[in-house]
């Protein structure tokens, strides 16, 4: 029987049907309206990948060897218990993923803090949405990527899209921008001339690391050219005077000198937004993954607030979540400083509520732990063991060679995965777990809509779910069996109670309502509540009901170009691949289209390095070097090169990226570092 479900990749969570074969077919769902991208169309191929793991592996004499589940789980529990007994509970750390279901995210956080007693848990979503989340909390009092349905964008006359190449990263999304594209209302901010920028009426191409200066300049234009919505600012916001004081010196010509974006184009972009009946400002990773990412997103929010966009039907501000459950994954406890329901772990009331649901003493809960990169950086000297679920940090973390070294310094590494990823290949124990179509659970997409992912096929013999793994380990570590249920619906029922009254309140969402097809966006505080597809229509989530403009100023990249490293490198995704590539590189159709790393470079820049189209180049920073094939792109800035981050080994773009962190979000500066380009001789 065909089973309705959702795509395993990005946070759009396109609706699809799994049919016998298995094969996938698109279905009419609001976010994709019957469309799928190439990754979605080929997603069923992954279910029968030849290198699928079906037996636990244990490293013996340097080699990973198959063992029974009993042997593997007994070994993991014993080693974790021994390390905790010898070095304390923080000797064990947990690293999760933004692709895990809500149920897995919730139980993983509970497992870390209750069964292990460790403060050390974070996840790869720290590398994705953390700056946008921090800025959203500061401005609006709540973090939901899109506080409105995606379908609202179809009526937009103007859209400012900042740091997002949606034509390649989430192609079905572009249909919602069709009106803005066709009427000349799309403005794209990106240092590259991407497939998305090609569809824009205005393309603003700032030097990487200068987005904050550009946002300040656009606010300056809004003020000096008379576009402020003064009534909205008076009635619905606070902090404009302070934000303007910071932006006042960023007149367009000054911004042009810093960013390279023409003053005339700055003025044109603001006029398009201000004159539109329905306008949106949308940000994504390109403007967020910086050492000043939180402030940069705040600057874009300030612009949107100055124009009176957020909290109005037909207009607004939003951040495009990247990973499949990037929204839900950060709401329910796998982030270092959070408890379920988006509660802060250092809030006494939050601790008491969650501890009551869990049946434990609030004082037994650990405090905040280290953020993702700080956690990885401390391995060996701090935590002696690491458990990884749903992440491939050897490829995805910044300063990747250093992260590999820290993994090697551990006493014990456990990885749960469905294939032997680059991270799993380093493990002492590998636990084979189910894929997306082989298990049930809920996901929360980029618009805060909770979706039911149904089990469509049986997993291979010998494979278990992550929930079953956590249950078995918790029992071996002395926990009551019913404290860590292995049924996703049972876990979700507990999640509902744990989230009740929190910022992300799921207490009114049930599997029964989701099976009936109800569109339920959180917050949904009781079972009679219809959900909240549009936040902020009446008030923002701060106590006074007002949005806050935050004064910010441009700092520039942490590592500007110099004589030794004269170019700026930026990274991103391509159409055929997703995240670390552990999934898409196993799909022949996708891998044959883009089989390895490449570097996009202006032909003149390539020529100065003695390189031509198709040559093998070395891109080097102070942290390492990447080998990539040259692609000469006339539309590239001459001071910038671009690398996709999906590839392993010497092709890892993250060998060169800078791990310097945003002081608020702890997001690494993935999007800009100083490099040099050389021919490989």
Six-digit token pair at 253? Answer: 């010509």
d(CA 195, CA 405): 37
Q: What is the pLDDT of residue 505?
A: 98
How far apart, in whole angstroms, are the C-alpha atoms of residue 53 and residue 195? Answer: 37
All CATH 3.40.50.740 domain ranges of the chain, comma separated, are: 57-127+326-484
Pairing between β-strand 57-60 and β-strand 63-66 as defined by DSSP bridges: antiparallel
Retrieve residue 62's tokens: 């340097």
Q: Looking at residue 48, what is its pLDDT?
A: 94
Pair of tokens at residue 193 = 């001339």
Whether residue 1 is predicted with pLDDT greater than 90 in this model: the reply is no
Record the pTM: 0.97
Pairing of strands 412-417, 625-632: unpaired
Average pLDDT, integer, range 663-677: 97
Report which of 471, 434, 373 is spatially closest to residue 125, judged by C-alpha positions. 373
Q: Is 318 helix (H, G, I), strand (E, B) or coil?
A: strand
Q: Where in the chain is the domain with CATH 3.40.228.10?
A: 131-320
The predicted structure's pLDDT at residue 402: 98
- For the chain, residues classed under CATH 2.40.40.20 are 567-679
Phi, psi dihedral angles at 83 (to 5 degrees): -65, -40
CA–CA separation, 670 and 291 (whole Å) = 9
Average pLDDT of the chain, as a whole number: 97
Superfamily of the domain at 131-320: Dimethylsulfoxide Reductase, domain 2 (3.40.228.10)
Grouping H, G, I as helix, E, B as strand and the rest as coil, residue 113 is helix
Looking at the predicted structure, is the pLDDT value of residue 76 above 90? yes
pLDDT bin (cut points 50, 70, 90) of residue 322 is confident
Tokens of 472: 């078995």
Residues near 424 by beta carbon (within 8 Å), at least 6 away in sequence: 388, 392, 415, 417, 430
* Phi, psi (deg, nearest 5) at residue 41: -60, -35
Contact 252, 279 (CB under 8 A): no
In the chain, ranges of CATH 2.20.25.90 domains: 3-48
Share of the chain above pLDDT 70, in %: 100
Average pLDDT on 666-675 reads: 97
447 φ/ψ angles, rounded to the nearest 5 degrees: -100, 15
CATH topology of domain 567-679: Barwin-like endoglucanases (2.40.40)
The class that CATH gives domain 57-127+326-484 is alpha beta
Contact between 21 and 1 under an 8 Å Cβ cutoff? The reply is no
Residue 184 tokens, joined: 């000349």
What pLDDT was estimated at residue 681? 83
Q: What is the pLDDT of residues 135-172, one digit of tens each?
A: 999 999 999 999 999 999 999 999 999 999 999 999 99
Tell me whether strands 598-601 and 668-669 are parallel, antiparallel or unpaired.
Answer: unpaired
pLDDT at 386: 98
* Torsion of the alpha carbons at 564, 567, 568 and 570, rounded to the nearest 10: -110
**CATH, range 3-48:** 2.20.25.90
């Amino acid at each position: 029987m065909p089973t309705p479900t959702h795509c395993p990749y990005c946070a759009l969570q396109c609706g699809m049907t799994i049919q016998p074969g298995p094969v996938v077919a698109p279905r009419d769902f609001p976010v994709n309206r019957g469309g799928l991208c190439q990754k979605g169309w080929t997603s069923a191929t992954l279910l029968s990948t030849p290198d699928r793991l079906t037996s636990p592996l244990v490293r013996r004499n340097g080699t990973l060897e198959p063992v029974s589940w009993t042997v593997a789980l007994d070994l993991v529990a014993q080693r974790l218990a021994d390390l905790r007994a010898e070095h304390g509970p923080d000797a064990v750390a947990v690293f999760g993923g933004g692709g895990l279901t809500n149920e897995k995210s919730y139980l993983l956080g509970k497992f870390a803090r209750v069964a292990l007693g460790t403060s050390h848990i974070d996840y790869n979503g720290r590398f994705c949405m953390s700056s946008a989340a921090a800025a959203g909390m500061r401005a609006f009092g709540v973090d939901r990527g899109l506080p409105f349905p995606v379908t609202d964008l179809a009526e937009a006359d103007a859209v400012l899209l900042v740091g997002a190449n949606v034509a390649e990263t989430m192609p079905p999304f572009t249909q919602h921008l069709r009106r803005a594209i066709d009427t000349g209302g799309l403005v794209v901010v990106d240092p590259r001339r991407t497939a998305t920028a090609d569809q824009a009426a205005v393309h603003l191409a700032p030097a990487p690391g200068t987005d904050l200066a550009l946002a300040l300049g656009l606010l300056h234009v809004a003020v000096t050219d008379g576009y402020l919505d003064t009534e909205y600012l008076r009635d619905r916001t606070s902090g404009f005077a302070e934000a303007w004081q910071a932006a006042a010196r960023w007149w367009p010509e000054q911004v042009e000198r810093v960013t390279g974006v023409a003053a005339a184009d700055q003025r044109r972009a603001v006029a398009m937004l201000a004159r539109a009946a329905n306008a949106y400002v949308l940000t994504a990773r390109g403007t967020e993954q910086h050492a000043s990412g939180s402030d940069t997103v705040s600057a874009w929010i300030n612009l949107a607030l100055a124009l009176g966009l957020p909290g109005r039907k037909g207009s607004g501000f939003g951040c495009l979540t990247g990973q499949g459950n990037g929204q839900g994954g950060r709401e329910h406890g796998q982030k270092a400083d959070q408890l379920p329901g988006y509660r802060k772990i250092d809030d006494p009331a939050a601790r008491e509520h969650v501890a009551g649901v869990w049946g434990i003493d609030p004082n037994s809960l650990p405090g905040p732990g280290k953020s993702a990169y700080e956690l990885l950086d401390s391995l060996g000297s701090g935590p002696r063991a690491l458990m990884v679920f749903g992440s491939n940090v050897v490829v995805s973390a910044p300063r990747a060679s250093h992260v590999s070294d820290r993994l090697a310094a551990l006493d014990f590494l456990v990885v749960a995965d469905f294939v032997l990823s680059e991270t799993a290949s380093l493990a002492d124990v590998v636990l084979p777990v189910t894929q997306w179509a082989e298990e049930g659970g809920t996901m929360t997409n980029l618009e805060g809509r909770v979706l039911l992912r149904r089990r469509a096929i049986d997993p291979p013999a010998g494979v278990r779910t992550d929930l079953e793994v956590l249950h078995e380990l918790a029992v071996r570590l002395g926990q009551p069996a019913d404290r860590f249920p292995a049924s996703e619906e049972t876990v979700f029922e507990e999640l509902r109670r744990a989230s009740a009254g929190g910022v992300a309140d799921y207490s009114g969402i049930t599997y029964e309502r989701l099976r009936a097809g109800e569109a339920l966006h959180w917050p949904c505080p009781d079972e009679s509540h219809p959900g909240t597809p549009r936040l902020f229509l009446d008030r923002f989530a701060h106590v006074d009901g007002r949005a806050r403009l935050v004064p910010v100023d441009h700092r520039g990249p942490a590592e500007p170009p110099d004589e030794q490293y004269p170019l700026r490198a930026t990274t991103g995704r391509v159409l055929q691949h997703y995240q670390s590539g552990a999934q898409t590189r196993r799909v022949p159709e996708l891998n044959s289209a883009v089989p390895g790393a490449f570097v996009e470079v202006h032909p003149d820049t390539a020529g100065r390095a003695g390189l031509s189209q198709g040559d093998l180049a070395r891109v080097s920073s102070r942290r390492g070097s990447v080998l990539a094939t040259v692609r000469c792109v006339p539309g590239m800035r001459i001071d910038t090169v671009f690398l996709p981050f999906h590839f392993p080994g010497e092709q890892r773009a993250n060998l060169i990226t800078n791990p310097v962190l945003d002081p608020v979000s702890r997001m690494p500066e993935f999007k800009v570092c100083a490099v040099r380009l050389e021919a490989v001789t």
